[in-house]
């Protein structure tokens, strides 16, 4: 894990959708609509344990720690990388929530879930939030192991953008 400053960590978290809500002394409190709030000390270098605790608090999995590390590195470069695109945010959602059953490459079937690259917004919305299918849709697999993920209600468009982009790269 790279050695980074509190400021670089805040920049990286802002790319995940966090925004600063207050600051008390050298500690900044950040809030994100669909994740746990987090406090970041604005120290020149964050302790590795502190950085690990921040990663645990924001509930990113090992699969996307590398993406987070890259975002931290980009945040520290001084350039203005700008906010993540919907497809980039969708990739984070996918890697955090979907690769357990679906393949890391959404063009390929996973252990339990089918290939889902290019899935329509309507299908993603119905399956992810309500475990249903749009009218007239025939499921690719007869399994019923998927669980609803209502906390992703504000990330459906991002997830759909990632799946569309993945389908276009195949």
The pLDDT profile of the chain, 170 residues, written as one tens digit per residue, is: 567 788 888 888 887 778 889 988 899 999 887 778 899 999 988 888 888 888 888 776 544 555 665 555 555 554 445 678 999 889 888 887 888 789 889 999 988 899 999 999 999 999 999 999 999 999 988 878 888 988 889 999 999 999 999 998 75
**Beta carbons of 163 and 155 less than 8 angstroms apart:** no
Q: Are residues 90 and 71 in the same domain?
A: no
Same-domain status, 29 and 91: no
Q: Are residues 69 and 10 in the same domain?
A: yes
Into how many domains does the chain fold? 2
Long-range pairs for 98-106: beta carbons < 8 A, 24 or more residues apart = 98/159, 99/63, 101/145, 101/146, 104/63, 105/166, 106/162, 106/163, 106/166, 106/167
**Domain coverage including residue 21:** 6-75
Alpha-carbon span 134 to 92, nearest angstrom: 25
Whether residue 81 lies inside any domain: the answer is no
Provide the CATH number for the domain around residue 160.
Answer: 1.10.760
pTM, two decimals, is: 0.57
Same domain, 104 and 164: yes
């Amino acid at each position: 894990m790279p050695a980074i400053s509190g400021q670089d960590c805040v920049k990286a978290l802002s790319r995940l959708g966090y925004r600063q809500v207050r600051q008390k002394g050298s500690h900044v409190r950040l809030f994100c609509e669909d994740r746990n709030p987090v406090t970041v000390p604005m120290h020149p270098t964050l302790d590795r344990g502190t950085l690990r605790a921040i990663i645990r608090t924001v509930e990113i999995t090992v699969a996307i720690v590398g993406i987070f590390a890259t975002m931290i590195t980009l945040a520290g470069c001084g350039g203005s990388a700008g906010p993540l695109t919907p497809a980039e945010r969708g990739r984070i959602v996918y890697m955090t929530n979907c690769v357990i059953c679906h393949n890391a490459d959404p063009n390929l079937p996973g252990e339990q879930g089918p290939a889902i690259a290019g899935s329509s917004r309507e299908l993603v919305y119905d399956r992810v939030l309500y475990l249903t299918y749009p009218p007239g849709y025939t499921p690719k697999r007869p399994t019923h192991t998927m669980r609803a993920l209502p906390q992703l209600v504000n990330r459906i468009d991002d997830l759909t953008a990632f799946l569309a982009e993945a389908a276009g790269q195949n």
